[in-house]
Structure 1
């Protein structure tokens, strides 16, 4: 059984990842794609108030489970479009350790900060300033297979760009390059 393809969209909150993912699921015609969104996983958790420490632990476990759900879907041959916010370095490192790097097309979803703030306010369902807090963090690893700017292109245009690029993804992929940088360097580091 062939491992499924993973189109991994990374960007701040309100950058347009979910809109691009929905368009991709609609236009990709060479397989059956599933949209896996970290927000959907967060929405499944209990809604009662938790102490901040308990919430932090629950959110970390949620993300760890989300990464493994992506891997499990792909492992059994499903193609997936992932929409995620890699705003903490451990999230990227965990994804690099559990996802098959040669099957991941890593897409940077960018948008200028002023437009993110405008979108965030218009949405009204996100804490004000969330995108600004994530802005310098989500792309700090600096390596993608392809990038799109949602202030300059519609979600459909971004999806078309990604669709055209998918069969030509590079070797090694950005995930493979990042895996060498983050995981192999970690293995070579002297223990403390």
Structure 2
């Protein structure tokens, strides 16, 4: 299976925050944003693996700045690494006050998706080819983030996480 470039999975999604999307403070509800982020991540993963895929996990979503009623939400999603049947997708979210021409960072997260075949079983995905310095850094960190996810889900024992141990344990000389 031939590898694919990270840029090939790039998905940009835009939404306007309407009254039905907000809480009592006039801010975009977190659940609505997560819904939109999940859709963007699904599109990015599908572009990479050319098949259906499903959400396997969502890392911490940090809400840095609220997005107000009437503002535009910009979501950018891109695959950062492909494993055997899963893909890590990095998402960045900005808000934009169009009237005042001001953009601001709102959120960032990592989602993991699993590619599925026609019967709904996990299937192999193409390798990812990072090209830019940022893509390379995200690619290299993805293995450590994956090990954290696997430990937290009980699918890996901490002493099996070689990449993480290398960060915290002194190397023998």
Task: Give your verdict on TM over 0.5.
Answer: no
Looking at secondary structure, tell me which structure has more strand per residue.
Answer: 2
Relative to total residues, which structure has the larger helix share, 1 or 2? 1
Please tell me the TM-score bracket, short chain as reference: 0.3 to 0.5
TM-score by length of 1: 0.35
TM-score by length of 2: 0.38
Q: Taking CA–CA contacts closer than 8 Å with sequence separation of 6 or more, which of the two structures ends up with the larger relative contact order?
A: 1
